[in-house]
Structure 1
Amino acid sequence: MDTRTKLSPTEGESIHSQDMQLDEKLISRKVQGLCSVRYGLAFSVHMCNFILMAQNVIMNITMVAMVNSTDHQAQVNVSTDGLPANSLDGPSQAPKSLPAEAPVYDWNPQTQGIIFGSVNYGILLTLPASGYLAGKVGTKKVVAIALFGSSLFILCTPLAADLGLVYLIVIRIAQGVCQGAGFGGQFALWGKWSPPHERSRLFSIALSGLALGSCIVTLLSGFISLILGWPFAFYIFGAVGCICFLLWIGLVFDDPSSHPWISISEKEYIISSLSQEVSSSKQPLPIKAMLCSLPLWSIHFCCFGHQWLVVVLLIHTPTYINSVFNVNIRDNGILSALPFLFAWVCSILGGVLADFLLTKNFRIVTVRKIVTLVGNLPCSAFIVALPYLGSSYVTTVALLILACALSTFAQSGIYINVLDIAPRHSSFLMGTSRGFAHTAAILSPTVNGFLLNQDPEFAWRKVFFLLFAINTLCLIFYLIFGKGDVQDWAKENKRTRL
């Protein structure tokens, strides 16, 4: 059966009327296209994610200029929510031609690991609840405060480093609190702005800013540190963040009804396509039903497995290249940015592919599982194969780039699936799924670091096979229990009690 019939506004409508509505939606989409307000909103969120991710990983690039020396152990202890840029660094000393005014600190690898990880504890504090908060007070306010706060704390980072380690860690945790609100709070927009058959595309455009932020930071931060001094990397990206904050305030609105410049036709198109998915502010969260929902748990577990994949892919495998091939990837900024560049492009292509399959009468659950499968299984298989490639450096780097690019397809699968099964509670559930997945960004470096310290000879195989096992088990669980239709507990006429 065509999945589009499941998205019809009311019960009792005929299949013929649903098809006519779908034809009207497709015509409207073709007429307005990328010039529409909803795509402008997607690009605004794209820029927000760009600056948030750039501010998240900038410390990972500048650390090599901030300390007397770095080594691999500092890399192992790093944990990030997105695409960490320092993972592409190899063993090296701090640059010899640093500007005289740039201070250098005597932080050992363990201290560096605490500094890197502190931002993630802040993110974990606010990421699960930020979606629910955005659903109550509005995404515009939550993300605006998060964007301004993150930019302000980035600007204060050089001063905090001068004041002492404790001040720096506090600033990093506070920055993480703001970033968690920004990363989790933005999802509430798509329950009000994204027509079902454009949802994957809009969502992927917005999230692709994460990969672009890592790409640009990787390319520019090292040069800024060498030419102007590492503090200017924080000042520049902090200032850009403040500019993005002002643009966000002026351009982003919580729903089509409150947008002052949207055309009447586009407003009616969006509202009519989401008429069955508008949440009721008075409807309580069906917590008990959520906890008993296997489709919901399958999304959470698969998000966790995918995040474990991302962490290993972008933190440990570059260190693996350095240890096997003795190549300092950081010294070549273009090569370091290639995985992020391909991930940025493929992130958008994944959303286009998902929406294309929906127009070809694929069921929603089938589309979500296809792109999720592509974004998980090939990537983990490529990584498991790395220790068996021997001295083939070109093949190793090619597989890493391919794995990084394909991993972004999951953004149009598991990360958006809660909008399909529980649109009325999507803002809250997207925050919880991202928060649950973020625990992998903290657990993975710890577990893998233990394995690397215990068994140097076969440690990498153990790390990669552990990744494959976790990722595959979580993927299988999702493929079995994942759903694409609105669950009974998420319907308005369903009696819900805590």
Structure 2
Amino acid sequence: MVFPSDTEVPRGGAPQQALCLSLPADPKALEETVRQDKAPLAGSSTECWGARHTLAFLGSLGFTVMYTIRISLSVAIVAMATTTPSNSSNATNGSADVCPLPDGYDPQETDQKGEFDWDTKVQGAILGSFYYGYAISHMPGGRAAEYIGGKLLVGLGLLLASIFTLLTPICAEISTGMFIALRVAEGLVLGGCFPAMNTLLATWFPPAERSKYTTLVMTGPNVGTVIAMPVTGWLSSSEELGGWRSAFYVFGSLGLLWSIAWFMLVHDRPERHPRISDAELQYLLSYKEVMKEAEVVPLPWCDILTSPYVWLVTLASIGDTLGFYTIITELPTYLANIQHFDMNSTGVLSALPYAVAWVFSLFWGFLVEKLASSGIMTILQIRNMSMAIAYYLPSLCLVGMCFVNCNGVLAMVLLCLAVGLATPNMAGYLCAHQDLAPNFAGSLMGFTNTFGSLMGVVAPALTGAITYNNQTLAAWREVFLISAGTYVVTCTIYIALMTAAVQPWNDRKKTGAR
């Protein structure tokens, strides 16, 4: 997932709003920036609703639907796969490594009698398969959007993903291999959506509006996660509504409906929009010097690949996404197999951490803005503080998960804190692309997130290997400790060596770009 900044809108998911701030290092320049931001805009559009507002609304709605498509399998797979009653039988023998069954727990009713005999390794491969395609399509998707337009990349990506989602039950029934191939294809068509949306936002919104509307668009993933998990849990547990199949039919159909509206109402550039008002068009054209140009700028690949700071950002991305994807893909399985929550509870409780993350991200955005505008902290200090909070505090929560044992309430509290406290990363390494090279911030985000997205493959595969025929507290402690250790190591290296200075190769003239 990619999180945006005020001057660039980077890649796609973990689903949250823009906290990046483009601030001058000189305190006097900072004060001047603040004064300019508070001054009224010349030629400001007074329309209550214009073409750019429709773009922002449909963008946010599209990312909401996208994440319902992405996340629904994490919950549905609990109902799709058969779970053996081994843990249930062991739970009565007083073993300290297996949680006892709650009062009124009937193994015949609560153990999932799914249609597919998938062990934890196979489930890990299925959950991770999406990220094979997702990881490799970030860079090509971002560059393609600059050539053929973000509208087509976003619209076509979500349209195809919706069709694939409708085909999910059929492919799962035919073979596991076909199901995995379908998920890979789904990731492939969705991977370029976030970079493509960056192009649209940078084209349609002046800098003074970019934070506001980027925030609106990027709240979509969190909203989608909050919707997908409880709704999928409810549908999966209801045979009258079709069981787990109905979740894919519902979310896939919503994606088709969204695609119709997107292709009808959204256009790549204001000049090409047939229904934009003259007032809005003149307002946007008055900012053409500070908005994205139609010209495609060559990338200084040699400088990017040899920059130690780019690789530090890549390392931070790996640490962040390993922890994030471990929780987002495996949380429903942990709640069902270890804490013995039923399907309805699993879906609702799995969504709770992301609701907390959405609220905390709003608070952090307000706090960072105050710290930056007042000049209390430098850019580098803000970045490092955000990184420390987003990595060290969640790692403590994950270590705490090793001691909750069978206390389901305490486990949920720690998981909510782990996910919520990770949101300051949007003001940390996710802004570093803009700090290092604002002219190439979107492309850099696509590059580093390619490596980060691979953790979507590693996390479920690693968890599946550790918990294979071993759904015990000890096995899950190992999962949590690996994620916590990765957070600490990557953050410490990043903070010790990272800079917030603009790199020389950011200058187009020096890179030979025309």
TM-score by length of 1: 0.79
Number of the residue aligned with 2:493: 477
The question of 1:346 aligning with 2:346 is answered: no
* 1:258-273 equivalence runs, <5 A: 258-259=272-273, 260-261=276-277, 263-264=280-281, 266-268=283-285, 270-272=287-289
Question: Which whole-Å CA distance do the structure 1 matches of 2:48 and 2:383 have between them?
Answer: 23
Number of the residue aligned with 2:511: 495
1:54 is displaced (CA, Å) by 0.9
Question: Which whole-Å CA distance do the structure 2 matches of 1:270 and 1:366 have between them?
Answer: 31
Distance 1:109 1:204, change over 3 A: same
Number of the residue aligned with 2:429: 414
* 1:376-387 equivalence runs, <5 A: 376-387=391-402
Question: What is the percent sequence identity of the aligned residues?
Answer: 25
Question: Which whole-Å CA distance do the structure 2 matches of 1:405 and 1:392 have between them?
Answer: 20
Number of the residue aligned with 2:440: 425
The question of 1:247 aligning with 2:261 is answered: yes
The question of 1:310 aligning with 2:321 is answered: no
Q: C-alpha offsets along residues 438-494 of structure 1, whole Å, 9 cap, x if unaligned? A: 112222333444455699675444433332232122223332444445422122222
Number of the residue aligned with 1:58: 72
Distance 1:210 1:111, change over 3 A: same
Conserved? CA contact 1:131–1:429, under 8 Å: no
Q: C-alpha offsets along residues 274-330 of structure 1, whole Å, 9 cap, x if unaligned? A: 26xx46845421111111223322222112111112123334566556666544475
The question of 1:221 aligning with 2:232 is answered: yes
Question: Which whole-Å CA distance do the structure 1 matches of 2:142 and 2:106 have between them?
Answer: 39
Conserved? CA contact 1:70–1:94, under 8 Å: no
Question: Which whole-Å CA distance do the structure 1 matches of 2:138 and 2:69 have between them?
Answer: 17
Number of the residue aligned with 2:10: none
Q: C-alpha offsets along residues 329-369 of structure 1, whole Å, 9 cap, x if unaligned? A: 75354333222222233344444444444433454444444
Aligned partner letter, 2:156: I
Partner of 2:39: helix, strand, or coil? Answer: helix
Partner of 1:104: helix, strand, or coil? Answer: coil
Which has the larger displacement, 446-455 or 248-257? 446-455
Number of the residue aligned with 2:170: 159
Question: Which whole-Å CA distance do the structure 2 matches of 1:298 and 1:434 have between them?
Answer: 12
Conserved? CA contact 1:34–1:40, under 8 Å: no
Question: Which whole-Å CA distance do the structure 2 matches of 1:95 and 1:457 have between them?
Answer: 19
Q: C-alpha offsets along residues 31-67 of structure 1, whole Å, 9 cap, x if unaligned? A: 9799676565444322222111111122233334434
Number of the residue aligned with 1:331: 345
Number of the residue aligned with 2:450: 435
The question of 1:397 aligning with 2:408 is answered: no
How many equivalent pairs are there? 468
The question of 1:116 aligning with 2:127 is answered: yes
Distance 1:239 1:164, change over 3 A: same
Which has the larger displacement, 282-291 or 181-190? 181-190
Distance 1:234 1:403, change over 3 A: same
Distance 1:355 1:119, change over 3 A: same
Number of the residue aligned with 2:93: none
Question: Which whole-Å CA distance do the structure 1 matches of 2:264 and 2:368 have between them?
Answer: 31
Conserved? CA contact 1:190–1:199, under 8 Å: yes
1:431 is displaced (CA, Å) by 1.5
Distance 1:199 1:371, change over 3 A: farther
Conserved? CA contact 2:126–2:180, under 8 Å: yes
Conserved? CA contact 1:200–1:355, under 8 Å: no
Aligned partner letter, 2:416: I
The question of 1:150 aligning with 2:164 is answered: no
Question: Which whole-Å CA distance do the structure 1 matches of 2:131 and 2:116 have between them?
Answer: 22
Question: Which whole-Å CA distance do the structure 1 matches of 2:342 and 2:283 have between them?
Answer: 51
Partner of 1:388: helix, strand, or coil? Answer: coil
Number of the residue aligned with 1:48: 62
TM-score by length of 2: 0.77
Number of the residue aligned with 2:459: 444
RMSD, matched Cα: 4.0
Question: Which whole-Å CA distance do the structure 2 matches of 1:67 and 1:452 have between them?
Answer: 15
Unaligned runs of 5+ in 2: 1-20, 88-104
Aligned partner letter, 2:250: I
- Pick the structure with more helix per residue: 1
Question: Which whole-Å CA distance do the structure 2 matches of 1:245 and 1:28 have between them?
Answer: 33
Question: Which whole-Å CA distance do the structure 1 matches of 2:407 and 2:167 have between them?
Answer: 44
Q: C-alpha offsets along residues 95-127 of structure 1, whole Å, 9 cap, x if unaligned? A: 7999xxxx9344444443333232222212312
Question: Which whole-Å CA distance do the structure 2 matches of 1:106 and 1:447 have between them?
Answer: 19
Question: Which whole-Å CA distance do the structure 2 matches of 1:332 and 1:289 have between them?
Answer: 47
Which has the larger displacement, 432-441 or 59-68? 59-68
Question: Which whole-Å CA distance do the structure 2 matches of 1:203 and 1:386 have between them?
Answer: 34
Aligned partner letter, 1:495: T
Distance 1:475 1:105, change over 3 A: closer
The question of 1:127 aligning with 2:110 is answered: no
Question: Which whole-Å CA distance do the structure 2 matches of 1:398 and 1:414 have between them?
Answer: 26
Conserved? CA contact 1:185–1:431, under 8 Å: no
The question of 1:173 aligning with 2:184 is answered: yes
Aligned partner letter, 1:375: A
Question: Which whole-Å CA distance do the structure 1 matches of 2:408 and 2:111 have between them?
Answer: 28
Partner of 1:375: helix, strand, or coil? Answer: helix
Number of the residue aligned with 1:374: 389
Question: Which whole-Å CA distance do the structure 2 matches of 1:124 and 1:70 have between them?
Answer: 33
Conserved? CA contact 2:315–2:490, under 8 Å: yes
1:244 is displaced (CA, Å) by 1.3
Distance 1:415 1:41, change over 3 A: farther
Conserved? CA contact 2:230–2:346, under 8 Å: no
Partner of 1:376: helix, strand, or coil? Answer: helix
Number of the residue aligned with 2:480: 464
Which has the larger displacement, 258-267 or 157-166? 258-267
1:223 is displaced (CA, Å) by 2.7
Number of the residue aligned with 1:76: none
Distance 1:474 1:105, change over 3 A: closer
Partner of 2:143: helix, strand, or coil? Answer: helix
The question of 1:294 aligning with 2:297 is answered: no
Question: Which whole-Å CA distance do the structure 2 matches of 1:258 and 1:224 have between them?
Answer: 42
Question: Which whole-Å CA distance do the structure 1 matches of 2:325 and 2:499 have between them?
Answer: 27
Question: Which whole-Å CA distance do the structure 1 matches of 2:47 and 2:363 have between them?
Answer: 16
Distance 1:416 1:143, change over 3 A: farther
